[in-house]
């Protein structure tokens, strides 16, 4: 396993730590900034989520710079992204910080594209993330981060950046999903 793949695996290993901080009945107190109150565990979870998300850029950078792009990395990288973002979105629904219907749309797309990748892998094709997929991932990361941070600093001015970011993430999720299926429709229709 090369360095970029190890970085990707570290992103997966951070997910349980993130989830425990976000959902376990831990009480480290409340962080108050003006009228905005955030459980400290949410701040710690947001920090872990952001660190884990940054590894998405780091592993890709080293894979390209060191010429270590592998099929395993092409498989693990989007899987790690999907696991991290899906876990966060489901937790945000449980915490009543994100609407379930938007989360269902986002996660449904992730399952659909993963299914497409599996079908194409059976045909010997590996579908790497494209630019729209990367934009989708970063839009989701920004939205989840804003939700985890309870919309700070935008909460102070009453601007719903977190929800706007979630809508943008949903838009790119739908568009990039459609793009994956459209570009691979021939391979999908002619698969055995």
Residue 187: is its pLDDT beyond 80?
Answer: no
Pick from 72-81, 120-129, 154-163 the range whose average pLDDT is largest: 154-163
Question: 3-189 has which CATH code?
Answer: 1.20.120.1760
120 or 182, which is more confident:
182
121 or 162, which is more confident:
162
In the predicted model, what is the mean pLDDT of residues 157-173?
Answer: 96
Query: What is the tens place of the pLDDT at every residue in 58-70?
Result: 988 888 898 888 8
Residues 6+ apart with CB under 8 A from 43: 31, 149
Residues 6+ apart with CB under 8 A from 136: 169, 172, 173, 175, 176
Mean pLDDT (the chain) is 90
Give the other-Cβ count within 10 Å of 122's Cβ: 10
Residues 6+ apart with CB under 8 A from 88: 18, 22, 49, 144, 148
Query: For residue 30, what is the DSSP state?
Result: E
In the predicted model, what is the mean pLDDT of residues 16-22?
Answer: 95
Asked if 8 and 74 touch (Cβ cutoff 8 Å), the reply is: no
Residues 6+ apart with CB under 8 A from 50: 141, 145
CA separation for the pair 76, 53 (Å, rounded):
14
Residue 21: is its pLDDT beyond 90?
Answer: yes
Q: What percent of the chain is predicted at pLDDT more than 90?
A: 55
């Amino acid at each position: 396993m090369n360095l970029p793949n190890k970085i990707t695996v570290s992103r997966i290993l951070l997910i349980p730590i993130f989830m425990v901080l976000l959902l376990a009945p831990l009480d480290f107190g409340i962080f108050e900034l003006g009228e905005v109150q955030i459980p400290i565990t949410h701040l710690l979870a947001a920090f872990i989520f952001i660190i884990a998300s940054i590894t998405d850029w780091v592993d890709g950078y080293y894979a390209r710079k060191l010429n270590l792009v592998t099929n395993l990395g092409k498989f693990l990288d989007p899987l790690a992204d999907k696991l991290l973002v899906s876990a966060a979105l489901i937790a945000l629904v449980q915490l009543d910080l994100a609407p379930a219907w938007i989360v269902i749309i986002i996660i449904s797309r992730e399952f659909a594209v993963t299914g497409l990748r599996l079908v194409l892998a059976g045909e010997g094709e590996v579908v790497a993330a494209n630019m729209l997929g990367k934009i989708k991932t970063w839009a989701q990361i920004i939205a989840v981060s804003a939700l985890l941070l309870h919309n700070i600093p935008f909460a102070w001015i009453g601007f719903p950046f977190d929800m706007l970011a979630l809508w943008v993430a949903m838009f790119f999720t739908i568009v990039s999903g459609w793009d994956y299926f459209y570009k691979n429709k021939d391979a999908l229709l002619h698969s055995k």
